[in-house]
C-alpha cells in the first residue's frame, strides 16, 4: 500500500545519498511523494550502487501508480566531491534546474575511519574535517542561499546528520566526533541565522547505524555484541530507522514549528555519569526546544 503522500510538491536534495542513511532518506522521501536530487562522489566503483538505486526508485514510482518514465521527472543523481565548495553550489543549481525550487536539504555526506588517537595523522584528520564539517558547511550554505534569496516564497527545512558521538565521544573517533559536534553546532547557529527567512534547521544524532562505514567493525562478533548490549532495543540501527525522523522534519505539517531541535536516535546506555551529563545538557538547551 502506498504511503501517505505528505511530501507531494516538495523538492529535496541529499548529499551522500547513494548509500547508507542518505539512501534510506532519499527513498523514503520518494515514497512520500517528494522529488529528490541525490549527490554522490562519482567514479566507476559506484556504478552497481547507481544501478541498484535506480531500480529501487523505479519500484517506488510504480508502487505509487506512476509510470517508469516519471523517474526522470522525480529523481536525479549529481556527482561531486563535497570537500570542494563549488560542489554544493553545483548540486543545488542542478536540483533547482530539474525541479524548480528547493524545499528540503539533508547534509548527510560523511566519512568515518576508526583509528586510535595516537595514530591519527594529518591526512586522515584533514580528510575527515573537509568531508564531514567543511563539506557540510559549504553545501548547507548553498542550499540556504537558494531557500532564502532565490525562490518565492522563501523558506525550507535543512537537516544535518550529526551523531550521538558528538555528545558522548568515542575512543577511536577523536578525529570524527569533533566534526559531528561541529555539524550539530552548525545546525543550531543556522537555525538562528536563517529563521527570519522561514528556514528551519535541525539535527539528527543517530547512534550505531549499520552502514558501509562500519561493516568491518560490526562484522566482528565481539564488537557487535558489545554495541548491541549498550542499546536499549538490543539491536543495531538500520538506515531506514533514520528515514522516519527525516520525513517528520521535512514536513511543514508535522514539524512547521520545530527549530534547532536535537533528535538522538538509538541512544545507548553509557553509565550514570553520562546520563547525569545528558540531564544537565537538557536543562541547558531547554530554551532552544531541544528534545532529549
Please list the active-site residues: 162, 176, 180
Q: How far is 13 from 103, CA to CA, in rounded Å?
A: 8
* Residue 166, CA distances (Å) to 30, 54, 112, 203, 254 in order: 29, 33, 13, 11, 26
Q: Which three cell numbers stand for residue 117?
A: 588517537
Helix axes 85-99, 135-149, angle to 10 degrees: 40
d(CA 168, CA 72): 42
Q: How many other CB atoms are found less than 10 A from the CB of residue 257? A: 7
> What's the CA dihedral at 51, 62, 240, 90 to 10 degrees?
60
Cβ neighbours for 106, distance < 8 A, ≥ 6 positions apart: 12, 13, 14, 15, 17, 22, 25, 158, 159, 161, 246
Q: Which three cell numbers stand for residue 74?
A: 522525480
Q: How far is CA 213 from the centre of its chain?
A: 14
Q: Strand, coil or helix: what is 38? A: strand
Amino acid at each position: 500500500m502506498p504511503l501517505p503522500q505528505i511530501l507531494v510538491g516538495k523538492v529535496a536534495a541529499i548529499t551522500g545519498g547513494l548509500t547508507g542513511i542518505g539512501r534510506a532518506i532519499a527513498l523514503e522521501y520518494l515514497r512520500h511523494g517528494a522529488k529528490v536530487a541525490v549527490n554522490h562522489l562519482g567514479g566507476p566503483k559506484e556504478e552497481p550502487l547507481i544501478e541498484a538505486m535506480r531500480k529501487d526508485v523505479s519500484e517506488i514510482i510504480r508502487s505509487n501508480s506512476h509510470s517508469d518514465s516519471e523517474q526522470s521527472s522525480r529523481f536525479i543523481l549529481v556527482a561531486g566531491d563535497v570537500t570542494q565548495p563549488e560542489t554544493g553550489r553545483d548540486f543545488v543549481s542542478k536540483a533547482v534546474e530539474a525541479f524548480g525550487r528547493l524545499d528540503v536539504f539533508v547534509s548527510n555526506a560523511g566519512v568515518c575511519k576508526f583509528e586510535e588517537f595516537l595514530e591519527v595523522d594529518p591526512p586522515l584528520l584533514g580528510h575527515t574535517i573537509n568531508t564531514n564539517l567543511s563539506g557540510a558547511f559549504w553545501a548547507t550554505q548553498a542550499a540556504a542561499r537558494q531557500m532564502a534569496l532565490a525562490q518565492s516564497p522563501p523558506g525550507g527545512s535543512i537537516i544535518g546528520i550529526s551523531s550521538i558521538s558528538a555528545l558522548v565521544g568515542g575512543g577511536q573517533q577523536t578525529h570524527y566526533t569533533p566534526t559531528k559536534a561541529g555539524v550539530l553546532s552548525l545546525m543550531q547557529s543556522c537555525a538562528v541565522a536563517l529563521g527570519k527567512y522561514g528556514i528551519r534547521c535541525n539535527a539528527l544524532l543517530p547512534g550505531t547505524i549499520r552502514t558501509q562505514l562500519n561493516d568491518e567493525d560490526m562484522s566482528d562478533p565481539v564488537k557487535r555484541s558489545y554495541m548491541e548490549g549498550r542499546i536499549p532495543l538490543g539491536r543495531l540501527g538500520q538506515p531506514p530507522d533514520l528515514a522516519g525522523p527525516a520525513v517528520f522534519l521535512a514536513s511543514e505539517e508535522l514539524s512547521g514549528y520545530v527549530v534547532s531541535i536535537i533528535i538522538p536516535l538509538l541512544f545507548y546506555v553509557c553509565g550514570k555519569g553520562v546520563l547525569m551529563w545528558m540531564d544537565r545538557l537538557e536543562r541547558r538547551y531547554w530554551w532552544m526546544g531541544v528534545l532529549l
